[in-house]
Amino acid sequence: MNTRLFITAITPAVAIILAIYLSDRYDREPLKILILTYLLGALTVIPIIIVEEVLLSFNIFGGTLEALYTAFIVAGLTEEFFKREVILRVPYKTRYFNEKLDGIVYGVFSSMGFATVENIVYVVYRYANNPHVGLYRGIFSVPAHAVFGITMGYYLSLAKFDGDKIRSRKNMRRSLYMPILLHGTFNFILMTNIPQLSILFVPYVIYIWWINQQKLNKFIYDSRNRIMDIEREE
């Protein structure tokens, strides 16, 4: 294994999880749960590869329809479903998931687990001879997975802490289909051969980063206020 390429592959995800961990400064999550979420996120690569191969075998389309199917169903649906399952089956059920920011934190850790392994596959093995792949994926692909994780965690938290059952179920559904839509659109722009659409790629990436930064800031603010309220009551 090329050590330089390996470091290049893991650095973006490590930087992102460190940043999100430090952002959760008022009621930080236990490292054991964060590490478990990250590792399980990495292990989702196994079922994802299997399901994606099965779905690809059913691909009867061509051209733009093939790009849509691959982007939204094969990649978007499969990857976001399994990353979400990690959160629902582990941290979501613990007593540590006790504020809205936690959904984003666990969403990013699960997504970065998957993104780390995926990036190693692309940078170290599949495209080892292309010196630009690591840079491109470090700027666009890995951060995009973080954005999908923020979106997923945002709606999971809204679902968990909402007393209105109808609204809670609606946000639970959004926690799946919203990251699928963001993920699918990201991939579709890259897969399609429509030049006019390719021009929108960078603006799209900037836009989804901006709207999800707003979500993150909102929950950080809520987390601070929650701790301040607890301290005042004491």
pLDDT (0 to 100) of residue 234: 62
Q: What are phi and psi of 186, to 5 degrees?
A: -55, -50
Model confidence pLDDT, tens digit, residues 165-202: 999 999 999 999 999 999 999 999 999 878 878 899 99
Residue 87 CA to residue 51 CA, distance in Å, equals: 19
Res. 1: pLDDT tops 70: no
Domain span holding position 26: 3-233
Give the residue-averaged pLDDT of 36-50: 98
Number of domains in the chain: 1
Model confidence pLDDT, tens digit, residues 104-163: 999 999 999 999 999 999 999 888 788 788 889 999 999 999 999 999 999 999 999 998
* Rg of the chain in Å (alpha carbons): 18
Residue 97 CA to residue 13 CA, distance in Å, equals: 22
